[in-house]
Amino acid sequence: MIRLEELTKRFQQVIAVNDVSLKVAAGEIYGFLGPNGAGKTTTIKMLAGIMRPTSGRILIDGLDLEKHPIEVKQRVGFIPDRPFLYEKLTGLEFMSFMANLYGLNGKGRDKRIQQFLELFELAEWGRELVGSYSHGMKQRLIMSAALLHEPRVFVVDEPLVGLDPKGARLIKRIFSKLKDSSLTVFMSTHTLEIAEELCDRIGIIHKGKLIAEGSYAELQQMAGQEDPRLESIFLHLTGAEAFSTEEIGFIREQN
């Protein structure tokens, strides 16, 4: 469903994404992990058609994004890490606006909008201005709008950022439902818990290069870690080290 072929993005002398190739099967949830500055958001932006790659190809549902941008974007729902909302609209008005952008018409449109507001627990706030929503409610609204046109691929950058435990639990439950509906999900996240819990496969990018890829069990075997936590596997594969005893002592001396 998703295929990246030798994807590269260069900013003058800096190579943000370096020759990344990967495949995501239909109906799969693919977690895309990496330290800050590793190239995750740049990859996401290229995948969503917001940024053009320096070289390489992106294919979604068999279509080349560069050659068929409109057709590809009709198949994709996208959530950026900092989504923009029209705060002077009500939740219902915003959903209706998004439905218009996607060309959704007909008798079933309003029913579908209401169903998504209910799914994301926003129905009672539908007639309130978006500006009065909490951060978590705004996150849920933009996610419901991105799924409104029944995309075949869902690309999301940091789905749980800023959410309280209740909101995070709701989003995880919805992602579980998406997994059962054959929707393909490409998800970048720093929340290792959600990657471990929901993702079928995980790719780890570091300094622009895809350094590891596979199921949770395959990554554990690759890292050779006895500690089963994804956090330990991730830190080992990216070469990140915990504070040593000497470093902790130095910090204490400074305080």
Tell me, what CATH number does 62's domain have? 3.40.50.300
pTM, entire model: 0.86
Task: Look at residue 49 and tell me whether its pLDDT is greater than 80.
Answer: yes
In terms of pLDDT, which residue wins out, 142 or 227? Answer: 142
Instruction: Say whether both 137 and 168 belong to one domain.
Output: no
Q: Would you state the pLDDT for residue 243?
A: 44
Q: Would you state the pLDDT for residue 247?
A: 46
Rounded CA-CA distance 94/84 in Å is 11
Mean pLDDT of the residues in the chain: 87
Closest CA to 161 of 217, 235, 80, 54: 80
Domain hosting residue 145, numbered range? 89-150
**Number of independent structural domains in the chain:** 2
Q: How confident is the model at residue 225 (pLDDT cuts 50, 70, 90)?
A: low
Kind of pairing between the strands at 55-60 and 63-64 = antiparallel
Phi, psi of 22 (to 5 degrees): -160, 165
Mean pLDDT of 194-219: 90
Task: Look at residue 250 and tell me whether its pLDDT is greater than 70.
Answer: no
Q: Would you state the pLDDT for residue 240?
A: 65
Q: How confident is the model at residue 253 (pLDDT cuts 50, 70, 90)?
A: low
Pick from 100, 129, 150: which residue ends a domain? 150
Instruction: Say whether both 70 and 155 belong to one domain.
Output: yes
Instruction: Say whether both 100 and 223 belong to one domain.
Output: no
In terms of pLDDT, which residue wins out, 191 or 85? Answer: 85
Note whether residue 82 is domain-resident.
no
Rounded CA-CA distance 219/33 in Å is 12
Q: Would you state the pLDDT for residue 170?
A: 86
Cβ atoms within 10 Å of 20's Cβ, excluding its own: 23
Q: How confident is the model at residue 248 (pLDDT cuts 50, 70, 90)?
A: very low
Rounded CA-CA distance 233/186 in Å is 20
Rounded CA-CA distance 205/212 in Å is 7
Closest CA to 129 of 119, 120, 141: 141
Instruction: Say whether both 163 and 242 belong to one domain.
Output: yes
Q: Would you state the pLDDT for residue 180?
A: 76
Q: Would you state the pLDDT for residue 141?
A: 93
Task: Look at residue 161 and tell me whether its pLDDT is greater than 80.
Answer: no
Note whether residue 36 is domain-resident.
yes
Q: How confident is the model at residue 174 (pLDDT cuts 50, 70, 90)?
A: confident
